[in-house]
Amino acid sequence: MTSFGYADTSRRQTVLVYAPVQPVEVACGISSAVRAVVGSSLRDHYDIDLISTFRAQSNRTLPGRIAFGLWLTVKTAVRMIHSDAVLADIHAVSDRSLLSHAAIMFGARLAGRPAILRIHGGDFDRVFEKASGLHRLLIRFILRSATRVVLLSDSWRARVKAIEPRAVLDVIPNGVDCSLFEPSAQRPPRQCKTILFLANFCERKGHFEALAAIARLARHYPQAVLRLGGEDRDPGTRKLLEQEAARLGISHAVQFLGIVSGDTKLQALRDADVLILPSHTENMPVSIIEGMAAALPVVATAVGAVPEMIKDGQTGFVVRPRDANALAERLEQLFREPELARSLGRNGQSHARATWDSGVIATRTLALYELLCDRRSPATV
């Protein structure tokens, strides 16, 4: 595990933040959201030690995973005590890595510290439904063992509450530093034609539906361009996308940008006229927040927290998942009505600033930290 060293030199209370953050040059929604909050005004109140839990997929056997989990639990407990940390804030996804993050959580609890478990994955409920009986019992035990389980939206709180009613739940959404995206919002008036899609390549992100939508648009709007930012999450997906674009006769209208992050991402947002995310599953996509912060109209599918994020027809458009025709229809509408596109973008930007700016999220996180740190007696943690 890698520590990113956000801690200050002054003697203040320390919080250990564990998250699968990747290097800044790698595009990753969880990384962006976590970095935005730990780099915010939260550091005015606590020393934040950000520890990356990212690692390549493990091929350990079941006994090996159990041994690793026990080692990680003990290591975390020792680290909590040695650093005199008052709290562990653990960002987990919903696949197998949930178990390793749970080991970290149990380590914090072993050390007598409160532990926040945040669920980021968009398939948490499906993982639970497909799990064996023993695995389900383990997931439920993990949820009720955390001092707090933090979800990203009200809809996800309801889903997790249905899985484990005894879990103590809070909602704190993802956030970004909205000020970073304001220059991208200063784009000259022009006809809407550049469609940006920021997501690593895999079937569940809806890339193939995006290609089908562009093929339909090309009949009446030959100037339409789809720009794809990302890399293969599922090996070979880019090659399949290139083949599908060729089959549809739209290779000229599809651009592969590679990994998009930092200044490259800001420029891509500035050059775009609309952002899409036609995913099949999601939790709370950071790319939508970034697109709205950059005053782009957003068209996304009604999965995860998206219907809560986008007020259909006011701050963007929400369409059915796996429906390329519905996606194309909304894009055509934005092409025909550029003033509507600008209005959606402005409304979305205002909503993003008020709801998901890292300062707003830091305030909510600080309130939870202070609540838990004030309740560190053995009877309450």
Residues 109 and 205 in one domain: no
> Model confidence at 379, in pLDDT bands (50, 70, 90)?
very low
Residues 165 and 185 in one domain: no
- The predicted structure's pLDDT at residue 224: 94
Lowest mean pLDDT across 1-5, 50-54, 136-140, 228-232: 1-5
**Number of structural domains in the chain:** 2
Residues 65 and 172 in one domain: yes
What value does the mean pLDDT take over residues 149-161?
Answer: 95
Q: Evaluate whether residue 46 is within a structural domain.
A: yes
Residues 228 and 330 in one domain: yes
**Containing structural domain, residue 60:** 2-176+357-373
Residues 114 and 233 in one domain: no
CB 152 within 8 A of CB 308: no
Q: Evaluate whether residue 379 is within a structural domain.
A: no
Reduce the DSSP state of residue 190 to 3 states and report it: coil
Q: Evaluate whether residue 381 is within a structural domain.
A: no
- The predicted structure's pLDDT at residue 137: 94
> Model confidence at 87, in pLDDT bands (50, 70, 90)?
very high
Query: If we measure between CA atoms, which residue out of 19, 349, 343, 361 comes closest to residue 181?
Result: 349
Residues 194 and 232 in one domain: yes
Average pLDDT, the chain: 89
Residues 78 and 172 in one domain: yes
Residues 210 and 291 in one domain: yes
Query: If we measure between CA atoms, which residue out of 278, 275, 213 comes closest to residue 250?
Result: 213
> How many CB atoms neighbour CB 76 within 10 A?
28
Residues 78 and 197 in one domain: no
Integer-rounded Cα Rg, in Å, for the chain is: 21
In tens, the pLDDT along 200-228 reads: 999 899 999 999 999 999 989 999 999 99
- The predicted structure's pLDDT at residue 355: 96
- pLDDT greater at residue 98 or residue 295: 295
- The predicted structure's pLDDT at residue 32: 84
DSSP letters, 46-88, are SEEEEEE---PPP---HHHHHHHHHHHHHHHHHHHHHHTEEEE
Q: What is the C-alpha separation between 310 and 318, in angstroms, rounded?
A: 7
Q: What is the C-alpha separation between 213 and 151, in angstroms, rounded?
A: 32
Q: Evaluate whether residue 380 is within a structural domain.
A: no
Q: Evaluate whether residue 198 is within a structural domain.
A: yes
Residues 201 and 340 in one domain: yes
What percent of the chain is modeled with pLDDT above 90?
A: 71
Q: Evaluate whether residue 42 is within a structural domain.
A: yes
The pTM of this model reads 0.88
Q: Give, as one character, the DSSP assignment of residue 261.
A: -
Residues 38 and 86 in one domain: yes
CATH number of the domain residue 229 falls in: 3.40.50.2000
Across the strands, what pairs with 15? 48, 87
Sheet holding 169-171, edge to edge: 2-3, 47-52, 14-19, 85-92, 115-119, 148-151, 169-171
Q: Evaluate whether residue 77 is within a structural domain.
A: yes
Residues 287 and 322 in one domain: yes
In tens, the pLDDT along 228-265 reads: 999 998 999 999 999 999 999 999 999 999 999 889 99
Q: Evaluate whether residue 378 is within a structural domain.
A: no
